[in-house]
Amino acid sequence: MTIDVCTLGASHVDPRTNVIMTQTSRGPEGDEPFGELPTYSCLGVTSVPWDPDDNGAAEGIVVDGVGTKGAIIGARDARNAKITGNAKPGDTIIHTTGPSQAAQLQLKEAKRQSVLCTKDTQDKQMVVMLDGKNDKVAVLAFGYVIQIDRDTGISLSSKNGQHGIEITDSGVLVRGKVQLGGKAAPPGMCMAAATPATWAAIMALTGPVTPLMGVSGGL
């Protein structure tokens, strides 16, 4: 039995066993075909290597004489090396095996953070973060922010920051333009505030009213 580092080629899932099978080759230039071998990932994590391209190929630790011919018991891909850029002792990073690591789960020991992120169709980050160090939970996507803070409560903010909602133990605070009841606001209609004594007059189209600026009723 020998252990060698092999170049990993095309992979596929065996339709009969659901085992990931990967083409392997060895030698100084990785040009000696060694055959298609099963891949052993760690428990709870199943990864399919990215196919070789102009930027390189994944490498695997191969043990021969296991099963019919051999088995891949570990792998790495230098094309993914940048994922470790901000990693610190105690951190764990789970990510897709493609060259852009489009989807990631980053678990930070010292920062006590769990960060789940991916890229949208415009290649912008979408993030869900549990921040145990600062006692916050945050969702960031498309410029919008939802945040839960131990001390300040829940906040929702528009991408321009002009509109938002804050929910605290003392009440609900709304900022920006507010439209109640539906998407279409009749022209000229707005919410109004008045004392109970003036409501009869308001219903009779008389008496003073105080418009609440920025608030309208929708249908």
pTM for the model? 0.77
How far the first Cα of the chain sits from its last, in Å, is 76
| Max intra-chain CA distance, the chain | 97
Q: Under CATH, which number does the domain 3-76 receive? A: 2.40.50
Phi/psi of residue 105, nearest 5 degrees: -125, 115
| pLDDT tens-place string over residues 159-217 | 988 999 999 998 999 998 887 777 777 776 666 666 666 666 666 654 555 556 676 66
Per-position b or e across 118-145, b if 16+ CB within 10 A of its CB: eeeeeeeeeebbebeeeebbbebbeeeb
What digits encode the pLDDT tens for the residues 39-85? 998 888 999 999 999 999 999 999 988 777 899 999 999 999 888 88
The residue extents of the domains of the chain are: 3-76, 87-176, 179-217
Q: Which amino acid is at 88?
A: K
